[in-house]
Chains A and B, each alone.
Chain A
């Protein structure tokens, strides 16, 4: 991204370009982390589970960068400028999604998984909510007529539906039989 910034590849509005790039990467990694479980449960592709946590952590990294560019570079830490923006749904939804990611990122490292035991899994199912919020955040910033962000939300909902026990069991059986 830095190379791109230097070459002018972030468009004439590099701050917006950087916001879009980091936001998109954060979302992509988050959605990828959501795809790991279905890959394992339905297709029996277990290596996916090993990268799941790393995907989430890298997503968090990009979300942090995204937030830092928004508050620091774009608004220069000026609260007078930020306030009128923060009352808008897209900013609030994004902020909540980002804040919810913090406990997940912290507890993704040892010794938290062991220490929290069953609750760790419960806590980390927050990622379902965060994914929905992130998809919504993207939809809320674009003008009407731009369809890309809607596809992301559809993909997120699809990945969540795959988790519903009856569907998971049905698809699991279907694919293991055909193998």
Chain B
């Protein structure tokens, strides 16, 4: 072993003061970090994504949004208007037992227990989700086309629209205790929209179950319409002969129409819909007519003035 010259050894006093310096400075840093933590939103909780081996991009070549972002950026006003707060508030929301009543103008009314829906053979569908607030994601849903369920209940000739209703559960959904919106959430589709193969009843995501913050146990996804049409936590589906009044139509009729098709040429009264921010990207991209599903769905709206029917 080499002999160390005493002059090379740091004097004890200096050594101690260095210790002290590290101690005090790390206290300052810790304090600053604590302050920073208090100031903003709480640090994002890490989500554990289920094992996923599906495609990594949509048909246009855009990558999937991360599981973390999809589960930590949610417009779910039943829980909170703060998109980052939903995941924690929804944690104890009971999704089992759960059943969906399908009734109204049908020959074969039925109530499905949530596990019954498996018989409609949910499959993986990668869809773009465009929020009316001008941000978007690419999400690998697992769901089945609504027409499979409708075929079973057999809508009558008089059925012109499908009305969806969310659960009303103010005990577990804190914002339903306030009447700033006319709860429960209601949405609707025209019969041909509901029967379209792109229209999906969703029960899973990223190869796993549907997270509560994303609308578990079952939600609607209509990829060519703004995200708010995708009603979450559905408990009732009714076939009706008049156009349903959705929650957003009722609370702000000049801002939200029944159709709510993604349309870069029809602005929201307060902001433009021409561009959008894709979550995970910096900057903006052009919004596509019908959110990029124009080829599949534009024919449904032939001859309609989409400025009037927004």
Q: What CA separation (Å) do A178 and B39 show in the bound complex?
A: 37
Chain B interface residues toward A at CB < 8 A: 33, 36-37, 39-44, 68-69, 72-73, 77, 81, 83-84, 133, 135, 180-181, 251-252, 255, 267, 270-272, 274-275, 277, 279-280, 282-284
A-B contact count (CB 8 A): 90
- Could you tell me if B44 and A7 are in contact, using CB atoms closer than 8 angstroms? yes
Determine which of B40, B77, B133, B277 lies in contact with A74 in the assembled complex, contact meaning CB atoms within 8 Å: B277
Q: What CA separation (Å) do A78 and B283 show in the bound complex?
A: 10
Say if the beta carbon of A9 comes within 8 Å of chain B: yes
Residues of A within 8 A of B40 (CB): 1, 4, 9-10, 21
- Provided the pairs A3-B36, A9-B43, A13-B279 are in contact, do residues A81 and B284 lie with their beta carbons within 8 angstroms? yes
Residues of A within 8 A of B133 (CB): 143
Chain A interface residues toward B at CB < 8 A: 1, 3-4, 7-13, 15-16, 21, 73-76, 78, 81, 84-85, 87-90, 140-141, 143-147
Residues of B within 8 A of A84 (CB): 267, 272, 274-275
Determine which of B43, B135, B255 lies in contact with A8 in the assembled complex, contact meaning CB atoms within 8 Å: B43
Residues of A within 8 A of B43 (CB): 7-9
Residues of A within 8 A of B279 (CB): 12-13
- Provided the pairs A4-B40, A74-B277 are in contact, do residues A88 and B73 lie with their beta carbons within 8 angstroms? no
Residue of B nearest to A4 (CB): B40
- The interface residues of chain B, by DSSP majority, are classed as loop
- Provided the pairs A11-B73, A73-B282 are in contact, do residues A144 and B251 lie with their beta carbons within 8 angstroms? yes
Q: What CA separation (Å) do A8 and B42 show in the bound complex?
A: 10
Residues of A within 8 A of B272 (CB): 84-85, 87-88
Q: What CA separation (Å) do A12 and B58 show in the bound complex?
A: 20
- Could you tell me if B72 and A11 are in contact, using CB atoms closer than 8 angstroms? yes
- Provided the pairs A11-B41, A76-B284 are in contact, do residues A90 and B277 lie with their beta carbons within 8 angstroms? no
- Could you tell me if B252 and A144 are in contact, using CB atoms closer than 8 angstroms? yes
Determine which of B36, B81, B275 lies in contact with A145 in the assembled complex, contact meaning CB atoms within 8 Å: B81
Closest 10 CB pairs of A and B: A12-B73, A12-B69, A84-B272, A84-B274, A144-B252, A8-B44, A76-B283, A4-B40, A9-B40, A85-B272
CB distance from B93 to the nearest CB of A (A): 21
CB distance from B139 to the nearest CB of A (A): 12
Q: What CA separation (Å) do A84 and B135 show in the bound complex?
A: 16
CB distance from A129 to the nearest CB of B (A): 22
- Could you tell me if A141 and B69 are in contact, using CB atoms closer than 8 angstroms? no
- Could you tell me if B283 and A74 are in contact, using CB atoms closer than 8 angstroms? yes
Residue of A nearest to B279 (CB): A12
Determine which of A74, A78, A90, A144 lies in contact with B271 in the assembled complex, contact meaning CB atoms within 8 Å: A90
CB distance from A6 to the nearest CB of B (A): 10
Determine which of A8, A13, A85, A146 lies in contact with B81 in the assembled complex, contact meaning CB atoms within 8 Å: A146
